[in-house]
Structure 1
């Protein structure tokens, strides 16, 4: 669509001044006042010194008044230099912060040195009131890559501040979803990784809803789409391109990762769109620079998208560990330089500070990791246009919503480490060949949350309603209550303590299996 000259002028003005609502305010004006005062100090101090009559060099010849006069001039010079350096640093920090976070206001910089007000809806409010915080993390190629804004990495980071616990849930890019991109609640059908691109590329998607025609439209649309998929409100999002990822890792001096399985990929792309290179990464502790860490996170030709999701989680944890282990102040400007042109977020500066403080209080062992894929709640297929896609086994998404909603159970209950087993008690379900049974899938999903879950033998008796058989004598009451909530009002039956094995058993009845693993529609 051709742009009018007036529109072009407005665009150029917005680039200079920021988008409407983000233009220089009193906060930014103060920065410019500092810079002007700096120049005045720097100009006047030498004149004060040069205007003094020549005196004898011996310090004894100078009276106290003259010594003070020279000292005052020197202080003026030092102050001028300090204002110049400080003013430049503040301006540079503001410029970088506003580029990264288009919604930021100059006054937000104050929250970097003063406590953020805990206004309703703010991150400080959520932390104070122990509300769950959901942050969407997005990784994409960026300019110069094929499909520059298609998100290769889509990860939901969910935090419970009171428990100082978090879970990273990776979602596959090929998940076929409704993207709420169009006006009047209209949507586009597409892969999940298209949402950020549709909200970012206004030239190729000119008819999107006005909500997405902003500097943060890509992340906002991706967040709205992921919210539909997971059933969770997305509070914040961060989008990072490959260059920022490489530069941040390098600015941190590299990261160390305990590689669980060796990686050998002779087909990894050598350039932006052509060429191949062979990457080999041995198992065990390895040191990664930015380029190698990116290759480790992106490789999939000899493994799968799902293996890649798990590697991306390892890399994210390694970056976090490195940031927390360093004194970040000396590296601040190099980190800002790495981030400025290649990161976007709706987090404001005060939120970033609060989030960094919160992250520092969460231990590595309290960050759980899971990937939603074809080994649990999804199946593969093809769209009407022939694209390879993934779809939920439960087309209503209720099973996925329930899992994500309960993905951070009470830490005290989990820490009790009450063992329980899951058994198949129904044959009324549908699963792709070879991926297991309902009981094996649920066992694999609950273990990453910290539960001591194990797969038991199939029940000899088929059940219409799921049962929780409690032989703990009441000692596992909290665990049983959580299981009853997760399995949608399962019947709790008190039984004698078993002679061997777990005291608690969950037998999955057809009420659960038919809803979670239904047969695909024949439409």
Structure 2
């Protein structure tokens, strides 16, 4: 009997580690303030008639959840076969200011195809120009603007201008991302910067290859915040030099936040994804996987900030389902793009045809073939 229960228990610990790794990151941050999951979801909202540069979405994936087994020993989530798509959103640091509407500073999508043996992680630019649908509960009529605004517009609560709803903002962002990508979003996390240091430090730090010199806008070499000045932050800067580095909690957070560097927000997206992979490797290392108590300490570092809501897809079920992912399962994908302007005015970003072409390939189950044909889209760690 011990051997019959040991494997499911190990898989649950492993699955929780995977789940922790993927929700630890958006914008290099980790306290989950809202986690939303659904076991059965309506088809994605209709997509507006595409232009010649916009691929039409394929039929959306479904999450297969069989009826609960009558067996009392059946492990949780054993009937979840996928595909699963998780939306990870990093919000700006001013969410604690009364009346401040949350903006999505980082938008990452993790897609796990049917069978749950591989996972593809890609980012959407915060300034991506998208069609945001009307959202009556927030009084928003819809329009074409930057993706980051969908969360702020959706967070507005009529009659409560000083109490925006982050969960409501996530709802409009989720719909907007679903329309743009053609993927159904099955679960998601809204993440702030608070608490990241403790989680990474509970792992003993993280080993990461820094692929370019990154000066910090926000931190001094001793970790203290740089004070603001007339032309921006002033004083000594922390600098992350190119090469293999071991980063503690505040350093990992700070490194993943920087976008005023060569490559701009696209470089920041790449660094966030590399951090996800590095954390996944650390969490899923044999040393940690064989130490369930340490996995639990990492989980406890998230505290009571993980809130889960859904129609049958429970947090423990999702953790167990993801427990089948091997440590090498994560494929990081960088979607190239560029700025869009009207005259001399900057309007936002758009993905290149090469970047946009990955989305229909992913929906159709041809992601590996597309990446083989376009290896430059793979993000190297």
Asked whether the equivalents of residues 77 and 318 of structure 2 are also in contact (C-alpha less than 8 Å), the reply is: no
Asked whether the equivalents of residues 144 and 272 of structure 1 are also in contact (C-alpha less than 8 Å), the reply is: no
Query: What is residue 66 of structure 2 aligned with on the other side?
Result: 118
| Greater Rg by CA | 1
Query: What is residue 147 of structure 2 aligned with on the other side?
Result: 192
Unpaired runs of at least 5, structure 2: 1-30, 39-64, 69-74
How far has the Cα of 1:334 moved from its partner?
Answer: 6.9
Distance, in Å, in 2 between the alignment partners of 1:229 and 1:267 is: 32
Query: What is residue 172 of structure 2 aligned with on the other side?
Result: 221
Distance, in Å, in 1 between the alignment partners of 2:329 and 2:339 is: 32
Change (3 A) 1:190 1:385: farther
Q: 1:353 aligns with which of 302, 316, 322?
A: 316
Asked whether the equivalents of residues 150 and 196 of structure 1 are also in contact (C-alpha less than 8 Å), the reply is: yes
Asked whether the equivalents of residues 161 and 358 of structure 1 are also in contact (C-alpha less than 8 Å), the reply is: no
| 1:297 correspondence with 2:256 | yes
Q: Cα RMSD between the aligned structures?
A: 4.3
Change (3 A) 1:321 1:179: same
Query: What is residue 132 of structure 1 aligned with on the other side?
Result: 83
Cα shift readout 1:292-330 (whole Å, capped 9, x = no counterpart): 001111112122111110110111122223333433545
How far has the Cα of 1:203 moved from its partner?
Answer: 6.6
Change (3 A) 1:317 1:185: same
How far has the Cα of 1:407 moved from its partner?
Answer: 5.8
Distance, in Å, in 2 between the alignment partners of 1:250 and 1:204 is: 42
Q: 2:284 aligns with which of 324, 330, 336?
A: 324
Distance, in Å, in 1 between the alignment partners of 2:172 and 2:244 is: 38
Distance, in Å, in 2 between the alignment partners of 1:348 and 1:246 is: 32
Tell me the SS of whatever aligns to 1:177.
strand
| 1:403 correspondence with 2:361 | yes
Q: 2:212 aligns with which of 262, 269, 291?
A: 262
Distance, in Å, in 1 between the alignment partners of 2:155 and 2:344 is: 24
Query: What is residue 26 of structure 2 aligned with on the other side?
Result: none
Q: Hey, which of these two has a bigger chunk of helix by percent?
A: 1
Query: What is residue 132 of structure 2 aligned with on the other side?
Result: 179
Asked whether the equivalents of residues 127 and 162 of structure 1 are also in contact (C-alpha less than 8 Å), the reply is: no
Tell me the SS of whatever aligns to 2:81.
coil
Instruction: With the length of structure 2 as denominator, give the TM-score of the two structures.
Output: 0.63
Distance, in Å, in 2 between the alignment partners of 1:266 and 1:214 is: 31
Q: What are the within-5 Å matches in structure 2 for residues 62-81 of structure 1?
A: none
Q: 2:123 aligns with which of 139, 160, 170?
A: 170
Kindly indicate whether structure 1 or structure 2 has the higher relative contact order, using CA contacts under 8 Å at least 6 residues apart: 2
Distance, in Å, in 2 between the alignment partners of 1:247 and 1:322 is: 15
How far has the Cα of 1:216 moved from its partner?
Answer: 2.8
Change (3 A) 1:296 1:385: same
Change (3 A) 1:164 1:400: closer
Query: What is residue 92 of structure 2 aligned with on the other side?
Result: 141
How far has the Cα of 1:221 moved from its partner?
Answer: 1.6
Asked whether the equivalents of residues 32 and 192 of structure 2 are also in contact (C-alpha less than 8 Å), the reply is: no
Change (3 A) 1:384 1:356: farther
| 1:372 correspondence with 2:335 | yes
Query: What is residue 444 of structure 1 aligned with on the other side?
Result: 376
Unpaired runs of at least 5, structure 1: 1-96, 105-116, 207-212, 421-441, 450-523
